[in-house]
């Protein structure tokens, strides 16, 4: 699928940030430390992995850069970041806040979805240089939108509820642009990235796992 000039510019940050993913290379000098946001809603059992320990969390608790947030069976949590962006993590899922610097000259957020499913609603008012959710097989890059990412062994899936998302294969299969209602499955091995309009059943089931009643 050929990219328009505008779509190509949206996808550029994926290549620019690629070097950060190589072991032994450092992040930018502006790498943030400290508070990224706070827990704004919670259901069930949610723990934060921090400094080698585990903390059972509650609404209002601080979320820091380099924290990993883990949801148990039947649990979910909503994190509201300092810029107003919202992360919702579904049951049996884990997300690491690898990097969060909305006020830096090159404003950047990097979230690692270790397993399970997560939904991002990115604040359009923040002038993000890069905002990415990464899995073992894919990188989803946006500026302001509502989308979900799922990671299971051997593949990932990305679905866009609103806006547009650039999805890149970490196996080198290229980059595609998803629009509202579209999704893509990204396998660990190299192969075509096929954009599909998700059917009602798949869409509703996925969104239900990352939506509070």
* Length of the chain (residues): 213
Write the DSSP assignment of 5-28 as a string of letters: HHHHHHHHHHHHTGGGGSTTPPPP
pLDDT at 140: 97
Q: What is the mean pLDDT of residues 159-165?
A: 97
Q: What is the CATH number of the domain that holds 87?
A: 2.60.120.1440
Q: What is the mean pLDDT of residues 42-52?
A: 97
Is the sign of the CA dihedral 30, 35, 40, 46 positive or negative? positive
Calculate the alpha carbon distances from 55 to 34, 91, 137, 152, 165 in Å. Answer: 16, 17, 29, 25, 33
How far is the C-alpha of 176 from the C-alpha of 194, rounded, in Å?
Answer: 9
Share of the chain above pLDDT 90, in %: 77
Q: Could you tell me the pLDDT band of residue 4, with boundaries at 50, 70 and 90?
A: very low
CB distance 184 to 167 below 8 Å = yes
Q: Could you tell me the pLDDT band of residue 143, with boundaries at 50, 70 and 90?
A: confident
Q: What is the mean pLDDT of residues 198-212?
A: 97
CA 48 to chain centre: 17
Token pair listed for 151? 């990671």
Taking Cα atoms as reference points, which of 208, 175, 151, 202 lies closest to residue 14? Answer: 175
Residue 150, pLDDT > 70, answer yes
- Domain total for the chain? 1
Which residues span the domain enclosing 180? Answer: 5-209
Phi, psi (5° rounding) for residue 92? 50, 50
Residue 51, pLDDT > 80, answer yes
Residue 210, pLDDT > 60, answer yes
How far is the C-alpha of 110 from the C-alpha of 7, rounded, in Å?
Answer: 21
Q: What is the mean pLDDT of residues 155-172?
A: 97
SS3 201: helix
pTM confidence score: 0.85
pLDDT, tens digit, for every residue of 66-93? 999 999 999 999 999 999 999 999 999 9
Token pair listed for 57? 């969390």
Q: Could you tell me the pLDDT band of residue 124, with boundaries at 50, 70 and 90?
A: confident
């Amino acid at each position: 699928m050929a990219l328009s000039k505008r779509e190509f510019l949206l996808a550029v940050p994926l290549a620019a940030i690629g070097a950060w993913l190589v072991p032994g290379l450092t992040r930018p000098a502006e790498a943030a430390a400290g508070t990224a946001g706070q827990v704004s809603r919670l259901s069930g059992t949610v723990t934060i992995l921090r400094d080698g320990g585990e903390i059972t969390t509650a609404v209002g608790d601080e979320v820091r850069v380099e924290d990993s947030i883990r949801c148990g069976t039947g649990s979910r949590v909503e994190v509201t970041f300092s810029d107003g962006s919202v992360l919702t993590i579904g049951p049996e899922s884990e997300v690491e806040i690898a990097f969060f610097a909305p006020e830096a000259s090159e404003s950047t957020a990097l979230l690692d979805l270790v397993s399970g499913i997560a939904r991002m609603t990115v604040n359009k008012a923040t002038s993000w240089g890069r905002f990415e959710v990464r899995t073992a097989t894919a990188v989803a890059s946006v500026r302001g939108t509502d989308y979900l990412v799922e990671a299971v062994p051997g593949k990932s899936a990305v679905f866009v509820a609103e806006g547009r998302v650039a999805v890149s294969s970490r196996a080198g299969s290229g980059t595609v642009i998803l629009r509202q209602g579209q999704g893509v499955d990204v396998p660990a091995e190299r192969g075509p990235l096929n954009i599909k309009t998700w059917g009602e059943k798949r869409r509703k089931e996925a969104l239900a796992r990352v939506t509070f009643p």
